[in-house]
């Protein structure tokens, strides 16, 4: 184990680098994943197209659905988070909106940590009430407060650390409380990144990111992603 300048007793960055390493060249012998800057994909024959539309063969059709560059990104994030699958979005807010709306419907309730990211809060306070979805906020560092708020909720929405206030949650404990009541959990892991925190290993159902932040790393892109079980990611794809 190398000593890392961060002082951590585990080389998290080396572990992540290993997960992100690839040993096969990309198409055309490219060393890094090529950027497929295309909206549509074409087919060698009508039969191929018909089979693809019928789900008998897999090939990207349209980039909002699938794009090889994005699919590579999704596979890497899933590997980093220890998830079965991931879905990329055009922003972190798109990932948050799609994930929440795919699992919560009219008349249902969300329990969210106070001081979650500001635009997530705006979504919760402005859009969701118009859909008859209520959000209650809790101090996520207080498991008793979370336990008291959970009964009847559909979703527990975590962000640890929280935006700007950097309040931490005991993710495993809160996830256990939610699971006991059949409530699914989603966490915004943008701040910690999967290098330092892998919420799925603590029982969280879905982990999302503003990939515009540390995942992107260079302030040169706006993107989002959610990772979780293959069934949950399929559900998000089908609902949004
Ligand atoms: C913690 C956190 N979550 C979500 C978002 C939203 O992501 P995006 O700006 O990519 O839509 C941000 C953006 O600042 C963020 O900091």
Per-residue confidence (pLDDT) for residue 129, from 0 to 100? 98
Q: Could you give the CA distance from residue 105 to residue 122 in angstroms, rounded to a whole number?
A: 18
Query: Which residue, judged by its Cα, is nearest atom 9 of ligand 1?
Result: 92
Which is nearest to 111 in space by CA: 79, 135, 89, 141? 135
- Given CA atoms 83, 208, 196, 168 in this order, what sign does their dihedral have? negative
Per-residue HEC secondary structure of 87-146 comes to EEECCHHHHHHHHHHHHCCCCCEEEEECCCCHHHHHHHHHHHHHCCCEEEEECCCCHHHH
What's the 136 CA to ligand 1 centre distance in angstroms? 21
Tracing tokens 């008793």 back to the chain, one arrives at: 144
Domains and CATH numbers, the chain: 84-239 (3.40.640.10)
> Which whole-number Å values give the CA distances from 57 to 43, 76, 78, in the listed order?
12, 23, 23
Q: Is 213 a catalytic residue?
A: yes
* Residues of the chain below pLDDT 70: 1-9
What's the 35 CA to ligand 1 centre distance in angstroms? 23
Q: Is 157 a catalytic residue?
A: no
Q: Is 9 a catalytic residue?
A: no
Specify the 3-state DSSP secondary structure of 42: coil
Probe residue for ligand 1, chosen from 116, 191, 213, 219 as the CB with the greatest number of ligand atoms within 8 Å = 213
Atom of ligand 1 nearest to the CA of 94: 11
Q: Is 154 a catalytic residue?
A: no
Per-residue confidence (pLDDT) for residue 22, from 0 to 100? 79
Atom of ligand 1 nearest to the CA of 211: 10
What's the 232 CA to ligand 1 centre distance in angstroms? 21
Which residues' Cβ are closer than 6 Å to ligand 1?
91-93, 117, 119, 163, 188, 190-191, 210, 212-213, 222, 224
């Amino acid at each position: 184990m190398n000593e890392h300048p961060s002082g951590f007793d585990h080389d998290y960055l080396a572990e992540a680098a290993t997960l992100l390493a690839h040993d096969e060249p990309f198409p055309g012998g490219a060393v890094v994943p090529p950027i497929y800057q295309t909206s549509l994909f074409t087919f060698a024959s009508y039969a191929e197209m018909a089979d693809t539309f019928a789900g008998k063969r897999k090939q990207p059709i349209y980039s909002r659905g699938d794009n090889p560059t994005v699919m590579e990104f999704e596979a890497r994030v899933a590997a980093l988070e220890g998830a079965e699958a991931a879905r990329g979005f055009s922003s972190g807010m798109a990932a948050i909106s799609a994930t929440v709306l795919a699992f919560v419907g009219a008349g249902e309730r969300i329990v969210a940590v106070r001081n979650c990211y500001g635009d997530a809060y705006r979504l919760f306070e402005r859009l969701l009430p118009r859909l008859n979805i209520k959000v209650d906020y809790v101090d996520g560092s207080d498991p008793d407060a979370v336990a008291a708020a959970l009964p009847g909720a559909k979703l527990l929405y975590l962000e640890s650390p929280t935006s700007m206030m950097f309040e931490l949650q005991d993710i495993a404990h809160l996830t256990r409380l939610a699971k006991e009541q059949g409530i699914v959990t989603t966490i915004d892991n943008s701040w910690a990144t999967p290098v330092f925190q892998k919420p799925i290993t603590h029982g969280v159902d879905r982990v999302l990111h503003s990939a515009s932040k540390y995942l992107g790393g260079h302030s040169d892109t706006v993107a989002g992603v959610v990772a979780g079980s293959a069934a949950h990611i399929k559900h998000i794809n089908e609902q949004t």
